Structure formats: structure tokens, C-alpha cells
Chain A
Amino acid sequence: MSIEIKNLSCVYGVRTPYEKKALDNISFTVNEGESVGLIGMTGSGKSTLLQHLNGLIKLKSGSVKVFDIDLSKRRPDLMKLRKHVGMLFQYPEYQLFADTVKDDIMFGPLNFGMKKPEAEEAAARAAELTGLNWEDVKDRSPLELSGGQKRRVAIAGILAYSPDILVLDEPTAGLDPLGKKEMLDLIASLRKTTVSTVITVSHNMDEIAEYCDRVIVLSDGKLLYDTTPAKLFYEEDLAPLHLQPPHAVRIVRLLENKGIRLPHDVLTEDQLVAAIKEYFSGGGHA
């Protein structure tokens, strides 16, 4: 078990007029190799939940355990935790600070105790993983790169210290459709090669359907569903959450109204095309 969360609650601004219960009795576990999608309306507590996984918010009630680091114990080893759990914030390109891309990517590795040459090597490797041309970008200022490139630099800055779990807060927000696709493919390929366990926040159900094996739905700080995308999108009523199912699911529903029944595990464009072909090439009619 990589992550184990039990009865986690979090209240902001205790005893002020701005008091807000951001997380309410959340429990779930994440196993190694899983790709978990975290969804919910704006303000439902997703970012707050992620920040707990990195010990960035002081744990007040409940327990959070990542590998053997127990945050409910006294003085947990936060550096070790942060090295294990690489966390990408919303709009990470606004957090780049160094003069050169190289220095920015090396920031993490150096903080976690790597020596300079080692850190530089790790930085180069991480940059290439994200599809950046290291020789090209390493001496440039991060500020003069394009939005998509900046985000790659930000991700490289995390991959460079080889975390075991990746936690991504809306990694595709604000990118154009191509940039989005590239980012998601990057994450998918990282899962095969470097980090197998990924938790992603997204507002895009198509992305969740395509890239996650599991979805967790938060609503107003409570955990509403913890299930597979197929179950969530076909069996649960998402209207009260103001969530639109993925396009493929909506098309399957429309076809159903016309009497064409496709299997209820179709979640992506490719699967939809395959299912329709299958349906019309035989078997299906009957």
C-alpha cells in the first residue's frame, strides 16, 4: 500500500467568520501502480487533499500514511515524504524562479541532498523524459519559454529527484488541445517507465476516462465515490455534481435511445469506434 488515508478532516480559518470545512472524514488507500483521478467541483477540497500528501498542511484530525511515513506521528520526516511524493501544483510555470532552466530543475535534487554533478545529470535525464531538448534549453531563462515548455520544465524539476508517486493538480489546465494531449501522453509514458503510481486532479472527464483506472469524487469536502470510471460514468447520477460524462459515454447513451446498445465499458474515442465497428460488423444486431 503506497498511501493510506483514514478519517482525514481539515478546517480552514478555525473560529473566524471565514471558517470552512475543506475536508470531511476522508478515507481511502492507493496501491502501487494505480492511476487515480480526483474530481469534484471547484472548492470541493481536491487541492487541500493533495497538499496533505506532501505534509504541506498540518494534519489536525485523522491519519495520513505514505509508505512508512506516518503523518499522525510526532515529527514525521517531511523531507523523506516530499522526496517520495512528487507534487505538481496548479499552474506550476508560475513557480519557476532560477536564472536558467538547468538551475531550476536542479533545485529539487540539490535540496534532497544530491551532489552537483549528480544533480545535473538527473536534471538532464528528467528534461529529456519530458521531451525537452536539454542542450537547447538548459542555459535559457525559464521565463522566455512557451507555456507548454515551462510546464515541462516544472515537471522535470520534480522527476529529477525520482519520486515514487506523482501527484498532479490539474496538469493540463490552461494548455491548448495539443499541449493537453502531449501532457497526458507524457504522464502515461512516465507511468510505464519511471513512476507507476499517479494521482491526477482534472476537470476534464474525457481525460479521467482515458488515463485513470480509478476515480475518487469529492463533493463539499466529502468523499462521494471511489470507483472505476466505467461504474462512475455509467451507473451513478452525476447531474447533482454538475459533471458531464465523457463524450464517448454521452454518445453511447444517445445511441441507446435509438436502440443501439453498446457495451458499458466504452469510455474513450478509440473504444467507441471499435465498439461501433464491432456492432455493425456482426453479432450486435440481434
Chain B
Amino acid sequence: MRNVAFGQYYPTGSFIHRLDPRTKLFAGIVFIAAAFVADSYWAYLACYAFLIFVILVSKIPILQVLKTIKSVFFIILLSVILNVFFHHEGKVLVSWWKIKITAGGLLYSGQIILRLMFLVLSTSLITLTSTPTELTDGLEKVMSPLKYLRFPVHDVAIIMSIALRFIPTLMEETDKITMAQKARGAKFDTGGPFARAKALLPVLIPLFVSAFRRADELAFALDARCYNATEARTKMKILRFGWKDLTAFLFLALFLTVIAFFRSGFFGLL
């Protein structure tokens, strides 16, 4: 595992790391819900206060966590632009030709930024503090009631864990192929958009070829060992809730209460 920027596991052995993955998944859902419930800057302040507290407890450098925003930067930018120009409410600040920027629009865009960033940060905290195996185990457990609806829970879990497992491998491979083509004089950062896209082919083609080769080999290897994803398998590490998880749940309850208070504006006092 080489690239930590993409919200990959960042071991520190903290309290958060040792939580049951199901607790973390549940907390993720609670945080996401909170982001949608929050509707004032005070509520966002509260959300971020809780988030920062969690980051501090996880002992992951805050910069590492912030880095994960990079991957969704353009989505955030786009939605901000759309809202600044098309959300019309309150005093008009700028009005030029057909473009109108309103105070309400700006405030609303601010909230959108805070909301999206909060979503990304809180979900990356899950992947930063849990190994892919823990996550898929947790997901499998959480989804297990779906089994009764004939949903192939275990297959899906296996597919997910294999996909997660191969992300670093493929990134490493991309690195290597990029270097090899650079060594042959390939340039990736010159020319117009079309030239740049074309320059990526020497990397993408070998990457796809190797991804398919790996998939093929893996399928053969699984088959050769009579692998059958639907059989009931036992786990080496059994997930168990403990007092840590209880603490986490209490914390989440506190968090939800606070956000709910803000939602109704402190019972109409604010």
C-alpha cells in the first residue's frame, strides 16, 4: 500500500481503528444523515466540531484527512457554481445581462460546500480507519438479512473485497507503466486536451490488458481451489461488539441530539 492520498487505511491503532466496522458503518450513516438534517451555519459548526473531535481521537494527521477532498474537488466546484448562479433568493448583489447573484445564493452555496465536504470527510474517515477486509466483513454482516430475499450477499462481499484489494495493485501498476513510457519519451502534460487524452493511451492500454490478465489468473486460481463463494464459510476473526462500540453509540446519540436541537433552532429560540 503506497498511496495514502485516496483515503486508504492509515494505521494508528487508535480507539476509532479498533471499533467494530459495523459501528463505523452505522456512524457513517448517522453523519451523512446529520449533514442533510443540518440547515444552519450553527448546525454545521456543530457537525464540524464533532468531526474534528473524531479525527483527533483517530490520531490521523488532519492534513491526511483533508487530502481526501481533492478527489471530489470538481464536484464541489460545479455545484457551487450552479448554486451561485441559479439559486435566487434575497438581496441581489450582482446583476449583469442574464446573470444574477444573490445573497441567498451565496449563503446557500456556502452551505453546500460545508455539506459536501462533511460528507466526504466523514466517509473517508471510515476507510482511513478500517482495513478493506474489516469493511467487507462489516458490510456482509450488515447486509446479511438480504439473504432471505435471495440477494447474493456473500458474493457481493467477496467481489467488493477483491476490488478493494486490487486498487493499490493497479495504482502501483499505473505508476510503473507511466514511468516506463516516460522513459521512452512520452509526455503527459503538453498539448491540447485531445493530445493529452491521446497521450494516456500508452498507459491505459497496458493497464487494461494487465487488469484483465490478473482477473483471469485470479479466476483460475479460485476455481483451481474449488472456491465456492456461496458455501457457508467460517471467519477467523469474528466481529463482536464491545464496550468501545457502546461508547461510540452513546457519542452518536449525543451528536444526533445536538444536531436535532439546532434543526429546530433551539426550539425556536434562535
List B42-67 residues whose CB lies under 8 Å from chain A: 61, 64
| B180 part of interface (Cβ distance < 8 Å) | yes
**B179 adjacent to A89 (CB under 8 Å):** yes
**A157 adjacent to B2 (CB under 8 Å):** no
| B210 part of interface (Cβ distance < 8 Å) | yes
**A87 adjacent to B185 (CB under 8 Å):** no
List B2-22 residues whose CB lies under 8 Å from chain A: 2, 4, 10-12
Closest to B182 in A: A56
Whether A108 touches B185, Cβ cut-off 8 Å, given contacts A18-B2, A94-B210, is yes
The answer, among B4, B185, B187, B206, for a CB contact under 8 Å with A16, is B4
What's the minimum C-beta distance from A85 to chain B, rounded to whole angstroms?
8
The answer, among A16, A92, A111, A143, for a CB contact under 8 Å with B209, is A143
| B133 part of interface (Cβ distance < 8 Å) | no
What's the minimum C-beta distance from B216 to chain A, rounded to whole angstroms?
14
**B183 adjacent to A111 (CB under 8 Å):** no
B contact residues around A96 at 8 Å (CB):
206
| A161 part of interface (Cβ distance < 8 Å) | yes
**A89 adjacent to B202 (CB under 8 Å):** no
The answer, among B2, B11, B187, B202, for a CB contact under 8 Å with A97, is B202
B contact residues around A161 at 8 Å (CB):
184-185
| A233 part of interface (Cβ distance < 8 Å) | no
Q: How many A-B residue pairs have CB under 8 A?
A: 69
List B147-184 residues whose CB lies under 8 Å from chain A: 176-177, 179-184
Cα A13 to Cα B172 with chains together (Å) = 14
Closest to A110 in B: B185
**B179 adjacent to A56 (CB under 8 Å):** yes
What's the minimum C-beta distance from A279 to chain B, rounded to whole angstroms?
47
A106-146 vs B, Cβ < 8 Å mask (1 yes, 0 no): 01100110000000000000000000000000000001000
| A28 part of interface (Cβ distance < 8 Å) | no
Whether A94 touches B177, Cβ cut-off 8 Å, given contacts A87-B183, A143-B209, A157-B184, is yes
Cα A68 to Cα B258 with chains together (Å) = 66
A contact residues around B210 at 8 Å (CB):
94
A contact residues around B185 at 8 Å (CB):
79, 82-83, 107-108, 111-112, 161
Whether A17 touches B12, Cβ cut-off 8 Å, given contacts A82-B185, A111-B185, is yes
List A133-175 residues whose CB lies under 8 Å from chain B: 143, 157-158, 161
**B176 adjacent to A16 (CB under 8 Å):** no
The answer, among B11, B12, B181, for a CB contact under 8 Å with A95, is B181
| A268 part of interface (Cβ distance < 8 Å) | no
**A16 adjacent to B183 (CB under 8 Å):** no
The answer, among B64, B182, B203, for a CB contact under 8 Å with A82, is B182
Cα A92 to Cα B185 with chains together (Å) = 15
Cα A12 to Cα B1 with chains together (Å) = 12
**B2 adjacent to A13 (CB under 8 Å):** yes
| A54 part of interface (Cβ distance < 8 Å) | yes
Closest to A157 in B: B184
B contact residues around A204 at 8 Å (CB):
none
**B177 adjacent to A95 (CB under 8 Å):** yes
What's the minimum C-beta distance from B200 to chain A, rounded to whole angstroms?
11
Cα A16 to Cα B11 with chains together (Å) = 10
What's the minimum C-beta distance from A114 to chain B, rounded to whole angstroms?
10
| A51 part of interface (Cβ distance < 8 Å) | yes
Closest to A99 in B: B205
| B78 part of interface (Cβ distance < 8 Å) | no
Closest to B177 in A: A95
Cα A111 to Cα B195 with chains together (Å) = 13
The answer, among A15, A94, A143, A158, for a CB contact under 8 Å with B184, is A158
B contact residues around A95 at 8 Å (CB):
176-177, 180-181, 206
A1-20 vs B, Cβ < 8 Å mask (1 yes, 0 no): 00000000000110111100
Cα A97 to Cα B203 with chains together (Å) = 8
List A53-77 residues whose CB lies under 8 Å from chain B: 54, 56
What's the minimum C-beta distance from B167 to chain A, rounded to whole angstroms?
15
| B246 part of interface (Cβ distance < 8 Å) | no
Closest to B9 in A: A17
| B186 part of interface (Cβ distance < 8 Å) | yes
Whether A97 touches B12, Cβ cut-off 8 Å, given contacts A83-B185, A111-B187, A161-B185, is no
**B10 adjacent to A17 (CB under 8 Å):** yes
Cα A56 to Cα B188 with chains together (Å) = 13
What are 6 A-B residue pairs whose CB atoms fall within 8 Å in the complex?
Answer: A18-B4, A56-B179, A82-B184, A89-B180, A107-B184, A108-B184
Q: Which residues in B have some Cβ–Cβ distance to A below 8 Å?
A: 1-2, 4, 10-12, 61, 64, 176-177, 179-187, 201-203, 205-206, 209-210
Known: A89-B183, A95-B176, A158-B184. 13 other contacts (CB 8 A): A13-B4, A18-B1, A51-B179, A56-B183, A82-B185, A89-B180, A94-B206, A97-B205, A107-B184, A107-B202, A108-B184, A111-B185, A161-B185
Q: Which 9 A-B pairs have the closest CB atoms?
A: A111-B185, A97-B205, A108-B184, A95-B180, A87-B183, A89-B180, A97-B202, A56-B179, A112-B185
